[in-house]
Amino acid sequence: MRGIEIGPWFNPLAPKRAGYNCLVLDFLDGESLRKRASADANIPQEAITNIEEVDLLGSCTAIADLVAAKHPLGTFEYVISSHNFEHLPNPILFLHGCEKVLKRGGILSMAVPDRRACFDYFRPVSTLADWLEAYFEGRTRPTAAQVFAQEAFSSKYRSGGRETVNFSLDDDPHCVVPLENLREALSKWEEFRRNPDDDYRDTHCSVFTPASFELLLRDLRFLGLTQFEVLEISATHGVEFYVHLRNGEKLLADPLSTGAFYELRGKLMHRVNDEAAVNSIRAFEVRRELRAAQPFSLTRTIADAAKRLPALLKARYWKVALSWRSRIWRIAWPLRRTALRVRNFAKRSLRPSIR
């Protein structure tokens, strides 16, 4: 299959050297990417050899123009992208470009960070209004407001002397600490207003949870602003979730009836709210309180295991194998006798608590 990978850098998912018929799209050429990687102490030197030559040089927002300059449009089976989509200043324009590049039925697959598991923890999810505004304005770079939002609401996870920008939904949210840079963020915005320039300030232009992302895509589909169909949007794994979209037909309206669409939309809106509470401090404390209310009991656990043992011993195949004349039964008898004693001890230990 013929595909395009966006911004693979030193960790391509579909490398040419492994036999994939895949073009690389990036805003820097291969030599510049290798130099940048060599200067980054966090990147192993052996990983730099993974950086492939760039076939399509430019912004992925202009993917259709970049492809059309070298290849026929509508001839690719897939586009893959890992942790790029959230950086796009104009997500709808990117989707339109992928629609032109892909064959009908082609797949756009992406790994997208969940805002609840990274430094975007305190930022609200992006809305359809945010995307429409960027599209109608024809944005090609992040706004000063988006740069401010990332800096002013950025956070880190600090625990046991460790500090990181990524964590999991199960980690203690008490350890998510907002950075103390509000004045600095405002000063940068004010400086930009006084002395605007053309520098590209990379930032997370959009932030998502799985349900909020699905809500955006289904709204666009219903409004006829994308022809992508949602195949799957996974639950969050670690810091990210996975999005698989299929290039469908251009529709004047969503195939769902208006009533069915708004019913689904309402459920997604509730899911967005529910997701926001999953790893809140209050939810974490409630889970801890529930665990404290049901303390682990070794004697109870042993007793439960002992209760199941006689059922196994009474099974037909045990009756045959563990007869009085069976050598196996004689060997296993000490273990069986110990299990019975443990069960009786556990029963006696549990009586006061049962009352």
Query: What pLDDT does residue 291 have?
Result: 82
Whole-number Å distance between alpha carbons of 219 and 229: 11
User: Residues 199, 115: one domain?
Assistant: yes
**Where is the domain boundary, 237, 270, 287?**
287
- 247-281 burial, b at 16+ Cβ within 10 Å, e below that, comes to bbeeeeebeeeeeebeebeeebeebbeebbeebee
User: Residues 67, 184: one domain?
Assistant: yes
- Name the domain count of the chain: 2
User: Residues 187, 334: one domain?
Assistant: no
User: Residues 342, 246: one domain?
Assistant: no
- What angle is formed at CA 274 by the lines to CA 241 and CA 269, rounded to 5 degrees? 85
Q: What is the mean pLDDT of residues 325-352?
A: 55
- Domain containing 336 equals 296-354
In sequence order, which residues have a C-beta less than 8 Å from that of residue 232 and are 6 or more positions away?
242, 243, 244
Helix axes 91-101, 128-137, angle to 10 degrees: 70
User: Residues 200, 337: one domain?
Assistant: no
pTM confidence score: 0.80
Query: What average pLDDT is seen over the chain?
Result: 88
The answer as to whether 142 is a domain residue is yes
CB 63 within 8 A of CB 7: no
User: Residues 136, 223: one domain?
Assistant: yes
User: Residues 247, 306: one domain?
Assistant: no
Query: What pLDDT does residue 321 have?
Result: 45
The answer as to whether 279 is a domain residue is yes
The answer as to whether 19 is a domain residue is no
> 329 or 261: which carries more pLDDT confidence?
261
Q: In what order do the strands lie in the sheet with 176-178?
A: 162-164, 155-159, 176-178
